Amino acid sequence: MRRVTLTQFLIEQQRAGRISADLRLLIEVVARAVKAISVNVSKGALAGVLGEAGTDNVQGEAQKKLDVIANEILLQANEWGGHLAAMASEEVEEVHQIPFDYPKGGYLLLFDPLDGSSNIDVNISVGTIFSVLRSPTEGADPTEQSFLQPGREQVAAGYALYGPSTMLVLTVGKGVHGFTLDREMGSFIYTHPYMTVPVETGEFAINASNERFWEAPVQRYVAELRQGKEGPRGRDFNMRWVASMVADVHRILIRGGIFMYPLDEKCRSKGGKLRLMYEANPMAMIIEQAGGAASTGRERILDLQPQKLHQRVPVVLGSLNEVERVVAYHREA
């Protein structure tokens, strides 16, 4: 059986005219950074990378040591290749400009370097999420405004899952493709072609401890799922919650389901819990490319016009029928 590597896959995409040479290079560099992050995550206590870093990120959240390490790996790996105009990280307040002594390219890279980092110390799966936009500024340093493009303008999006195996899941706007890291060979191998989200599902993912803060449409929807065969849905549902968006969304991509971090009274003043540019947009692109849907409960995530770099939004994504039901309940309310 022929084993197709990530590099071969990207070259074929370039030959087909779906991506440029610079975008191919960008994705390959991100993949190399993911390998380095994977090594650090897998060593855990052996490398002294567990625990708090003693600093806070731009959102005022305590950073883990691996948050800082993963962020530096991604920044340093992508600075010098000439394919980027600038970067933005969930962990850093300002836009990260390309150093003056390196060439600049036509793309913008945004990333959450280590999603679900609260799980690191208990050895549960974490991940990296990234998004690629075209830079609207040619010959000038991009500003925050340069990044504030609706999610539908993304040219690529992906995530890495650091689990029992390390996976890279990617879309360049033509389906969703999964690659598994062969640790002995050091290559990502094409193992999951054209991934699709099952339309029907028996699973849902939500932080049930926040139930008392949810809006009425979400309370109604989850109550129906919990009633199982005896309720209006006529079948049983299982709840899953990893508290790592990458892990929860990856399960939905493989088995179907719905992931929700809705607007509630705890996060209403912030606009939501998850970051639009670093989490919601790239995951929405992936899920839509896999045949699912992604909404705030009120509107399509990929149509949102960002107002600021670290904007937060509610997120409801996954199997098409379930997302449409949640949106319908919001509309009725």
Whether 71 has a binding-site annotation, put simply, is no
43 carries a ligand binding annotation: no
Average pLDDT taken over every residue of the chain: 92
- What is the pLDDT averaged over residues 68-91? 93
Residue with tokens 């950073």: 63
Cα separation, 295 vs 327, whole angstroms:
8
Q: Is 117 annotated as a binding residue?
A: yes
Residue 15's pLDDT band (boundaries 50, 70, 90)?
Answer: very high
Take residue 213 and report the two structure tokens written for it. 């803060």
In tens, the pLDDT along 277-292 reads 999 999 999 999 999 9
Distance CA 25, CA 67 (A): 24
The pair of three-digit structure tokens given for residue 177, joined into one six-digit string: 């493709």
Domain boundaries, the chain: 6-192, 203-332
At residue 25, the 3 state secondary structure works out as helix
Topology of 6-192 in CATH? Fructose-1,6-Bisphosphatase; Chain A, domain 1 (3.30.540)
- Four-residue CA torsion sign, 239, 276, 109, 293: positive
Query: Would the CATH topology of 6-192 be identical to that of 203-332?
Result: no
Residue 329 makes CB contacts below 8 A (sequence gap 6+) with 217, 218, 220, 221
CATH number of 203-332: 3.40.190.80
Query: What average pLDDT does range 175-191 have in this prediction?
Result: 95
- What is the percent of the chain where pLDDT is above 70? 95
Is 116 annotated among the ligand-binding residues? yes
Q: Is 332 annotated as a binding residue?
A: no
User: Using one digit for the tens of pLDDT, what is the confidence trace for 110-156?
Assistant: 999 999 888 878 888 999 999 999 999 876 789 999 999 999 999 99
Question: Is residue 318 within 8 Å of 197, Cβ to Cβ?
Answer: yes
Does 200 carry a binding-site annotation?
no
pLDDT for position 54: 56
Mean pLDDT of 57-86: 84
Instruction: Tell me the residue type at 246.
Output: V
Q: Write down the pLDDT at residue 199.
A: 86
- Angle of helix 65-79 relative to helix 21-43, nearest 10 degrees, comes to 150
CA distances from 138 to 80, 105, 107, 145, 190 (A): 18, 9, 10, 14, 35
* Average pLDDT of the segment spanning 27-54: 84
Q: What percent of the chain has pLDDT over 90?
A: 80
pLDDT digit string, tens, across residues 81-119: 889 999 999 999 999 999 888 889 999 999 999 998 888
20 is in an annotated binding site: no
d(CA 156, CA 20): 11
> What is the rounded CA–CA span in Å between residue 187 and residue 299?
39
Check whether 65 has a pLDDT greater than 90: no
207 annotated as ligand-binding: yes
What pLDDT, on the 0 to 100 scale, is given for residue 111? 97
Residue with tokens 């699973």: 203
What's the pLDDT at 283? Answer: 98
